[in-house]
Structure 1
């Protein structure tokens, strides 16, 4: 099976818009979650913060 080339601009417009909005708001949400995790750490908060950090790194290196 031949795999096609990955093109991020071949997404539908609504998906590109959703991706751009997520890219714009991921850093402020991560900072707020980090402050919340420092003051009231629960296992969910730590896991959610780790997911947000990984998502921010993926957006930074253009993996998403």
Structure 2
């Protein structure tokens, strides 16, 4: 059986990095979404998809 995820079990420096990433990921997604609308390239679309997946993972505490 899988153990329940506890973010307080992480080292303090990793919790700080995780908190900072969760604050900055949404503005980066918005900026990248605007960039994809204006200049759509394959790399930009894939990068936006990765950013969205990271934002969802941070929101639902999968990371």
Interval of TM-score (by shorter of Structure 1 and Structure 2): 0.7 to 0.9
Aligned to 1:8: 7
Aligned to 1:52: 51
Unaligned stretches of 5+ residues in structure 1: none
SS across alignment from 1:41: coil
CA distance in 2, matches of 1:6, 1:63: 8
Q: Aligned-residue CA RMSD in angstroms?
A: 1.6
Superposition pairs of residues 29-40 of structure 1, within 5 angstroms? 29-40=28-39
TM-score (norm 2): 0.87
CA distance in 1, matches of 2:59, 2:47: 18
Q: Deviations along 1:17-59, whole A, 9 cap, x unmatched?
A: 0000000010000000000011001111000000001111111
Superposition deviation, residue 5 in structure 1: 5.2
Aligned to 2:16: 17
Kindly report structure 1 stretches of 4+ aligned residues shifted beyond 2 Å: 3-7
